[in-house]
Chain A
């Protein structure tokens, strides 16, 4: 049965990983606007390459 403890610990670690990534996603604003990205995905034109060039990444 002792293998169960190992499995328990492993499953908890995995679950915790997901919890942390969820919290990170919320704080980085990924759930602030759930509507616009669903529209943006339909705009299939390849504008991202140009956009990233102009993007300034210095600030938060």
Chain B
């Protein structure tokens, strides 16, 4: 084994920054200054290679656009890794277009993060002949590349991207579902049409607004009325179509949502206007009608802020890779995962997933099931042992034999289990729809009594007064309050690292009464471990040397230790003894770190890493979970809710968790994914509204069952189980702020409701007395709508700032 530093991992910290140069390519701290070109230092050979490629092709501008914009290249991808992409069934599904010569493919690349990435990916044609125009969609983190298939194969293209650090996310999910969403475009066009009609009808209504005498300008009045009607027709048939559909759905399902009174109001407006214009009674309310539709659609547009690069609906398909390496008589060939059959031999290399339930044939299994089961420590598996799908091999390469098809394996079975299927969370409970329901009853009641009243006094006004009440009772402002209040709350949350699936999550978040935390990966850092040293003290130099040595190891425990100690130093005579440990010479002294038996050390802890310097055993590093900072403070701030911590792990950490949560917190250990789901159900049966916070597939059921499920992730571009919201782990401590802000936002929403209802009350008063005119309607409608929108936006931003989200 050589002493190259391909896999060295380092963590940037301020203290050590002055000691070590930052990598010119990726900005990470370099373990030593052995890798450099001219004055540029690199943290690893991978970063240096990328720099060389860009340098040779005249693409150095990449480094001018941003400071150290590169993606850290921890390992250089094997050139043949993507050969499977040229297999016809996969190739066909990945390409957007192909005519045999020219082709175009769109890749999702999670690594895209800055302007330099955009520039490099759009200049990628300079690196290889045959690549044509490429275009980046930054919010979606996608690049679409045109290329000549005869000159560049799909696998070569992906390999080129990967060699620069922009490896596309290729998984089972990416070939099965086309991500296009045409509704966004349709909505924009609907807004355009409604806005067009609104503006022009207002222009045509100017004679009315100015109070011109209809008797002298009768022809003008009539022709303007007919043109207005013509302009309003596409608004009625196209722009407002969602409301007709929603109203029809309400009718069929015998339920009332906010769309029903809106549809009634809009229909009354249009019918009354058409009646007036054709019957020459007046000029109608078409300006109000198209203005209403325009504003309502704007509200919808504001509300549907989507985080395009995030997916809230991922299933196991986006967790599994596209291909695996099958070993057969012809050698080792990459094959699509879908073509795996029982009895196939598969090679799983370090950090790769076990694709299906299998039996270990050769090699030493060290499988990390933390994502699937919640157990923190990787488990050792011997030849002949049964391996469940979904685990990640943490040690070296192993050979396995598939015993169950991918679709019938433990992980997929877990996922497809009925208990984990999404129960449709009823939208009917949203505040808007509850308000809409009462509103509808009230309006119909008032309209009926008004009609009754006038039929006794003056039957000639009955129809007019009845329709006037329906017109002004259109809950436009009410319907706008929720999109703007909750929509802006959602945007504020997004700026602070909590990405919501939609606006109704804000409302549900405000009602939370119980919080359930997962331990592994949620309260603790995913992947990172904390080590505690026991034994004869090591000097600072010795610690650094141990760190440097540990960082060279392929064993995940030693690597974790290397990351924590931030080793610095050149390792000579490095040797790795698989299953035992590593040894090497640093600054003239001989270090060995590894297992107890290898070092003949005394002690009782088999999972510890022992250290020997110059032949003498000095002590051991004991692994423990690395908790996120300030958890105790966080738990204290959440004390208004009932907090529980559930874990798939054993009780080892009970003491630490008690310390964090205090006596109040309910602790549960050894919980299977089904136990977690059952626990959330049990809380809900006790009339608690549960917020579940988890990170892995083992929490997927509980995340779905809970009222709000938040998936925590260190890197928002990576896989998260399906949930209502995704929380960037760096903002984990802001959780109480989010809860407070959500509650305040709902309070703002209720006040907005009150304001808009008072407008409706005034308008109904005018209408019931039979005095409603198009002019009053034209003033009242925009006044109520705009004041409610302005109040919602301002108040939400203020209360969110007060809750700590600035």
Identify the A interface with B (CB < 8 A).
Answer: 1, 4-5, 8, 11-12, 15-16, 18-19, 22-23, 26-27, 31-33, 35-36, 39-40, 42-43, 45, 47, 50-51, 54-56, 58-59
Do residues B223 and A5 form an inter-chain contact, with CB atoms below 8 A? yes
Do residues A55 and B133 form an inter-chain contact, with CB atoms below 8 A? yes
Q: How far is the CA of A51 from the CA of B131 in the complex (A)?
A: 10
Query: B122 contacts which chain A residues (CB < 8 A)?
Result: 40, 43, 47
Q: B277 in the interface, Cβ–Cβ < 8 Å?
A: no
Interface pick from B136-144, B323-331, B764-772: B136-144
Top 8 A-B pairs, shortest CB-CB distance: A36-B138, A54-B132, A19-B196, A33-B137, A55-B133, A22-B192, A39-B115, A26-B188
B132 is contacted by which of A23, A32, A45, A55 (Cβ under 8 Å)? Answer: A55
Q: B199 in the interface, Cβ–Cβ < 8 Å?
A: yes
**What's the minimum C-beta distance from A6 to chain B, rounded to whole angstroms?**
12
State whether A36 and B192 are in contact (beta carbons under 8 Å apart), knowing that A15-B200, A47-B123 are contacts in the complex. Answer: no
Q: B109 in the interface, Cβ–Cβ < 8 Å?
A: no
Q: How far is the CA of A33 from the CA of B154 in the complex (A)?
A: 25
Cross-chain pairs A/B with CB under 8 angstroms, 12 sampled: A8-B227, A11-B203, A12-B200, A33-B138, A35-B138, A36-B135, A36-B139, A43-B65, A47-B122, A54-B131, A54-B132, A56-B146
Q: How far is the CA of A55 from the CA of B102 in the complex (A)?
A: 10
Do residues B61 and A15 form an inter-chain contact, with CB atoms below 8 A? no
The count of A-to-B residue pairs whose CB atoms sit within 8 angstroms is 82
- Tell me the residues in window 202-231 of chain B with beta carbons closer than 8 Å to chain A beta carbons: 203-204, 217, 220, 223-224, 227
Query: A42 contacts which chain B residues (CB < 8 A)?
Result: 115
Q: B441 in the interface, Cβ–Cβ < 8 Å?
A: no
Q: A4-B220, A31-B188, A35-B138 are in contact. List 10 more A-B contacts (CB 8 A).
A: A16-B196, A19-B196, A31-B185, A32-B137, A32-B185, A33-B140, A39-B118, A55-B146, A56-B132, A59-B102
Q: How far is the CA of A14 from the CA of B615 in the complex (A)?
A: 89
Q: How far is the CA of A23 from the CA of B102 in the complex (A)?
A: 29
Query: B65 contacts which chain A residues (CB < 8 A)?
Result: 43
Residue of chain B at shortest CB distance from A42: B115
Q: How far is the CA of A58 from the CA of B101 in the complex (A)?
A: 11
State whether A35 and B139 are in contact (beta carbons under 8 Å apart), knowing that A15-B199, A42-B115 are contacts in the complex. Answer: yes
Q: How far is the CA of A27 from the CA of B192 in the complex (A)?
A: 12
Do residues B123 and A40 form an inter-chain contact, with CB atoms below 8 A? no
Q: B97 in the interface, Cβ–Cβ < 8 Å?
A: yes
Residue of chain A at shortest CB distance from B98: A59
Query: A45 contacts which chain B residues (CB < 8 A)?
Result: 61
Query: B196 contacts which chain A residues (CB < 8 A)?
Result: 15-16, 18-19
**What's the minimum C-beta distance from B192 to chain A, rounded to whole angstroms?**
5
Query: B203 contacts which chain A residues (CB < 8 A)?
Result: 11
Query: B188 contacts which chain A residues (CB < 8 A)?
Result: 26, 31
Query: A59 contacts which chain B residues (CB < 8 A)?
Result: 97, 99, 102, 104
Query: A47 contacts which chain B residues (CB < 8 A)?
Result: 122-123
Query: A27 contacts which chain B residues (CB < 8 A)?
Result: 185, 189
Do residues B189 and A23 form an inter-chain contact, with CB atoms below 8 A? yes
Q: B565 in the interface, Cβ–Cβ < 8 Å?
A: no
**What's the minimum C-beta distance from B141 to chain A, rounded to whole angstroms?**
10
Q: B125 in the interface, Cβ–Cβ < 8 Å?
A: yes
Q: How far is the CA of A32 from the CA of B185 in the complex (A)?
A: 8
Do residues B118 and A40 form an inter-chain contact, with CB atoms below 8 A? yes
- Tell me the residues in window 136-166 of chain B with beta carbons closer than 8 Å to chain A beta carbons: 136-140, 146
B118 is contacted by which of A16, A32, A36 (Cβ under 8 Å)? Answer: A36
Q: B193 in the interface, Cβ–Cβ < 8 Å?
A: yes
**What's the minimum C-beta distance from B287 to chain A, rounded to whole angstroms?**
15
Q: B119 in the interface, Cβ–Cβ < 8 Å?
A: yes
State whether A1 and B133 are in contact (beta carbons under 8 Å apart), knowing that A15-B196, A15-B199, A43-B118 are contacts in the complex. Answer: no
Write the B504-527 contact mask toward A (1 if CB under 8 angstroms, else 0).
000000000000000000000000
- Tell me the residues in window 72-121 of chain B with beta carbons closer than 8 Å to chain A beta carbons: 97, 99, 102, 104, 115, 118-119
Residue of chain B at shortest CB distance from A16: B196
- Tell me the residues in window 13-72 of chain B with beta carbons closer than 8 Å to chain A beta carbons: 61, 65
**What's the minimum C-beta distance from B791 to chain A, rounded to whole angstroms?**
27
Query: A50 contacts which chain B residues (CB < 8 A)?
Result: 125-126
Query: A31 contacts which chain B residues (CB < 8 A)?
Result: 185, 188
Q: How far is the CA of A45 from the CA of B199 in the complex (A)?
A: 41
**What's the minimum C-beta distance from A19 to chain B, rounded to whole angstroms?**
5
State whether A1 and B99 are in contact (beta carbons under 8 Å apart), knowing that A19-B196, A33-B138 are contacts in the complex. Answer: no
Q: How far is the CA of A57 from the CA of B55 in the complex (A)?
A: 31
Residue of chain B at shortest CB distance from A5: B223
Do residues A19 and B193 form an inter-chain contact, with CB atoms below 8 A? yes
Q: How far is the CA of A1 from the CA of B200 in the complex (A)?
A: 19
B189 is contacted by which of A5, A26, A36, A56 (Cβ under 8 Å)? Answer: A26
Query: B102 contacts which chain A residues (CB < 8 A)?
Result: 56, 58-59
**What's the minimum C-beta distance from B125 to chain A, rounded to whole angstroms?**
6
**What's the minimum C-beta distance from B252 to chain A, rounded to whole angstroms?**
31
Q: How far is the CA of A53 from the CA of B528 in the complex (A)?
A: 49
Q: How far is the CA of A18 from the CA of B195 in the complex (A)?
A: 12
**What's the minimum C-beta distance from A11 to chain B, rounded to whole angstroms?**
7
Do residues A19 and B146 form an inter-chain contact, with CB atoms below 8 A? no
Residue of chain B at shortest CB distance from A12: B200
Residue of chain A at shortest CB distance from B65: A43
Residue of chain A at shortest CB distance from B197: A19
**What's the minimum C-beta distance from A45 to chain B, rounded to whole angstroms?**
7
**What's the minimum C-beta distance from A39 to chain B, rounded to whole angstroms?**
5
Do residues B220 and A1 form an inter-chain contact, with CB atoms below 8 A? yes
Query: A26 contacts which chain B residues (CB < 8 A)?
Result: 185, 188-189, 192
Residue of chain A at shortest CB distance from B193: A19
**What's the minimum C-beta distance from A52 to chain B, rounded to whole angstroms?**
8
- Tell me the residues in window 550-583 of chain B with beta carbons closer than 8 Å to chain A beta carbons: none
Q: How far is the CA of A57 from the CA of B133 in the complex (A)?
A: 10
Q: How far is the CA of A59 from the CA of B144 in the complex (A)?
A: 14
Query: B135 contacts which chain A residues (CB < 8 A)?
Result: 36
Query: A32 contacts which chain B residues (CB < 8 A)?
Result: 137, 184-185
**What's the minimum C-beta distance from A30 to chain B, rounded to whole angstroms?**
10
Q: How far is the CA of A26 from the CA of B126 in the complex (A)?
A: 31
Do residues B133 and A23 form an inter-chain contact, with CB atoms below 8 A? no
**What's the minimum C-beta distance from B226 to chain A, rounded to whole angstroms?**
12
Query: A40 contacts which chain B residues (CB < 8 A)?
Result: 118, 122
Query: B200 contacts which chain A residues (CB < 8 A)?
Result: 11-12, 15
Do residues A54 and B125 form an inter-chain contact, with CB atoms below 8 A? yes
Query: B193 contacts which chain A residues (CB < 8 A)?
Result: 19, 23
Query: A22 contacts which chain B residues (CB < 8 A)?
Result: 189, 192
**What's the minimum C-beta distance from A4 to chain B, rounded to whole angstroms?**
7
Do residues A33 and B139 form an inter-chain contact, with CB atoms below 8 A? yes
Query: B115 contacts which chain A residues (CB < 8 A)?
Result: 39, 42-43
